[in-house]
Amino acid sequence: MSFALTWLPEVLLGAGLKVAEQPGWRDRGRAQMGKVEGVMCHFTNGPAQGNMPTLRVLIEGRSDLPGPLSQLGLGRDGTFYVIAAGKCNHAGIGEWQGITTGNTSFIGIEAENTGSEPWPDVQMDAYRRGVAAILNFAELPASRCCGHREYAKPKGRKDDPDFDMDDFRGQVDAIMAGRGVVRAIIPKRDETGRPTQRRGSVGFLVRQIQVQLGEVADGLFGPATEAAVRRYQRASDLVPDGIVGPKTWAALDRDALAARREAPSADLQTLLTIAGQSQIARYDWNNRGRAPLGYVKGVAIMFARLHARLASGDPIAKAIASKAGTPAKDALGWYADVFRSVGMVNEIDGPDTLRHVFVLLLGLGMRESSGRFCEGRDRSANNTKAETAEAGVFQTSFDLIGADPLLSTIFTAYRRMPPQLKSVFAEGVRPKPDELQNFGDGDGRDFQELCKNSPAFAVELAALGLRRQRKHWGPINTLAAEVRPEADALFRDIADAIDRNPDLRSAVLNGRSP
C-alpha cells in the first residue's frame, strides 16, 4: 500500500521547483505519517562532491538508524528528491511549539551540505519556496517550520541547519503571502555576450570549459562536466552550483590568461619534442610494450620542473634528490645493485640522483598502469576503502601520505590548483568510464580523484614516496620496475636544455607547481 504523502511532488512542481521522484517512494516509510503539523529543516553533513551524494543513505539509512531518513532530499542545484510518502527517522526527541511527535508530525527535508560550505543561492531559494509550498498546502503558518537544532532535545543535540531560522521563516512567510523576494537569477549572458552554460548545454563553449578543466572535451555538459565545474568553483571560492555564469566565466578567463603567461607554449614545446623523439619513447617495456607518448612527455615535464626547482633550493625537490638511504624505506637504497649494474650512482645529493629517481619512476608507472594516468583501483585486490584504493599512473593510495609531512604539503598544494598536465598525459590514452570511479569519501576519495585528474600531482607524490616508503609499491619490492639507460638519457637531455636556456628554466619554474 502506498503512504499518505503522495501529494508532495505535485505541490513542489506547482511551486515551479525541480522534482526527482525516487523509485518506490510511494511505498516507502517507517509507518503511516500522522497529520502533518509542520516541516523540519536539516542538512546532510555529507560529502562535498556531487549534487545529492547522500541520497542513498537517506533512502536506506545508516547502521545505527534505519531508513528512510527523510521524506525529501534537496540537492545543491535546488532539485527536490522525493524519497518517502510515509513516516521517516529524521527528528528524534524534541519539541517545537508544543509538538513532541517529530517523526509523526513533521515532514523532514535533508538539504545537501557539508555543514561548513556556503549555500548556493539556487538551493536556498528552492528550500524556502519548497517549505512555503508544503505549509500552504497543509494550511499551516510559517512558524510551523523549524530547524532540527531548534527542535532537538536536549538542547545542543543537533546543530543543523546552520542558517538563521528566524530569517528563513520570515522569507518563507513572505513567499506564502505572495510577496516573496525572487532570487537574483544568474544572467543568461555575461558582459561579453557569452551565454551561461549549464547541465544540458552543448557546443564549442562547453568544449572550451572542458579543455580548461582537463575533462574529456566532447562538447556535452553532462554530470562529469558539472562535477568538474563544482570542483573548480570550490577551489576558486565561488558558490559551487555547477553553472558557468558571468562569475565563473570571469574566473576561467583569469586563470586561462595566467596559464598562458606562466607557461609559454613555445618553451614547453621544446621539452615535449625532446621527450617525443627520445629513444625511451620507442622502447619496448617488459610485457607492456611502448609507453603512451603522453606518459613519457608528462613525466619529462615533471622532471624538468623538479630539476629547475632543485636548483632554486626547493625543499621537496631536495628531498627527492637526496642520496640513497636505507633499503627498508628508500627505493634507491633497495635498488642499489640494479643502479650499479647500469652505472648510475646515487651516493651524493643532487641532480644526478634526482634524474635516477625519475628513471625508476618511469619504469614503475609502466608496471603499475602501463603509463595510463586515468587508471583506477586494482580490481584484482579488494581495496575499496578511501584510504587504500589505488589511483593514477603509479597506483598510489592515500595511506602513503603519512610517510612524510612533505607528502601532505604536496597533496594540499595540488588540491588548490586546477588539474595539472592532464592534457599532456592524455596523449595516446583513452580513459574508460569505470576507471574514473572513486571509492569511499573524504580526503581519501579526493586523493584518488586528484591522482587521475592532475597527473603532475601523482608524479611528484610518487617521486617523494619512493624515497620514503618504497614498500608501497609491489613492483619496487620485487624489482620488477625497469631501470633503463634510455630513460636516463632523456632526462639528461631535458636537464641540459633547461640549464642552457634561462628563459626555458624560468618558464618551467613559473608553470603552476608548489
**Minimal distance in Å, beta carbon 39 to Zn ion?**
12
Q: Is 69 helix (H, G, I), strand (E, B) or coil?
A: coil
Q: Contacts for 225-229 with beta carbons within 8 Å, 24 or more apart?
A: 226/51, 226/198, 226/199, 227/49, 227/50
**Minimal distance in Å, beta carbon 90 to Zn ion?**
6
Q: Is 401 helix (H, G, I), strand (E, B) or coil?
A: helix
**Minimal distance in Å, beta carbon 445 to Zn ion?**
23
User: For 187, which DSSP code?
Assistant: P
**Minimal distance in Å, beta carbon 383 to Zn ion?**
33
**Minimal distance in Å, beta carbon 384 to Zn ion?**
28
Residue with cell 594540499: 412
**Element at 458 (helix H, strand E):** helix 455-468
- CA 102 to CA 96: how far, in whole Å? 8
- By C-beta, is 93 or 381 nearer to Zn ion? 93
- By C-beta, is 26 or 87 nearer to Zn ion? 87
- By C-beta, is 48 or 146 nearer to Zn ion? 146
- By C-beta, is 45 or 506 nearer to Zn ion? 45
Q: Is 466 helix (H, G, I), strand (E, B) or coil?
A: helix
Alpha-carbon distance values, 480 to 312, 360, 362, 476 (Å): 34, 10, 12, 6
- CA 397 to CA 409: how far, in whole Å? 16
- By C-beta, is 119 or 447 nearer to Zn ion? 119
**Minimal distance in Å, beta carbon 158 to Zn ion?**
5
**Minimal distance in Å, beta carbon 494 to Zn ion?**
55
- Residue 298 and residue 511 in contact, taking contact as beta carbons nearer than 8 Å: no
- By C-beta, is 160 or 387 nearer to Zn ion? 160
- By C-beta, is 128 or 305 nearer to Zn ion? 128
**Minimal distance in Å, beta carbon 151 to Zn ion?**
9
Q: Is the peptide bond before 161 cis (omega within 30 degrees of 0)?
A: yes
Which residues form the interface with Zn ion (CB under 5 A)? 42, 148, 160
- Residue 429 and residue 372 in contact, taking contact as beta carbons nearer than 8 Å: yes
**Minimal distance in Å, beta carbon 162 to Zn ion?**
11
DSSP 39-55: EEEEE----SSSSSTTH
**Element at 62 (helix H, strand E):** strand 61-62
Beta bridge mates, 146: 40
- By C-beta, is 101 or 506 nearer to Zn ion? 101
Q: CB neighbours (10 Å) of residue 164?
A: 10
- By C-beta, is 160 or 368 nearer to Zn ion? 160
DSSP 93-113: SB-BTTB--HHHHEEEEEE--
**Minimal distance in Å, beta carbon 106 to Zn ion?**
11
- By C-beta, is 40 or 410 nearer to Zn ion? 40
Cβ contacts of 488 within 8 Å, gap of 6 or more: 342, 344, 355, 356, 359
